[in-house]
Structure 1
Amino acid sequence: MNRFSLTDKTLRLLAAQVNLNGTFHHSCSFKNTNLPLIFVLQVERGSSHTLFTIVTGDEKHSLTVSDTNKYKHQVLADFIESIANGRIDTAESATPRVHAESVDCGQLLDTYQQEQLNQLVRQGGSLKLDIGLDEAVSLAVHRTQSRKGITAILVAGDSNPRTQCFTTYGDDQHSFNRLLQSLDHLVASATPAALAA
Structure 2
Amino acid sequence: MNRFVLPDKTLHLLAAQVNLNGMFNHTCRSQNTNQPLTFQLQVERSPGETLLIVVMNNERHSLTVYDNDRYTHLVLADFIECSVNSHMDTAEPAVPRIGAESVERGRLLDDQQLQQLSQLIRNGGALLLDVGLDDPVSLAVHRTRNRTGITAILATGETYALTSCFTAYGHDQHSFDRLLQSLNHLVASATAAKHVA
Q: What is the TM-score with the length of structure 1 in the denominator?
A: 0.50
**Rg (Cα) greater in structure:** 1
Q: What is the TM-score with the length of structure 2 in the denominator?
A: 0.50
- Select the structure with the greater relative contact order (CA < 8 A; seq sep ≥ 6): 1
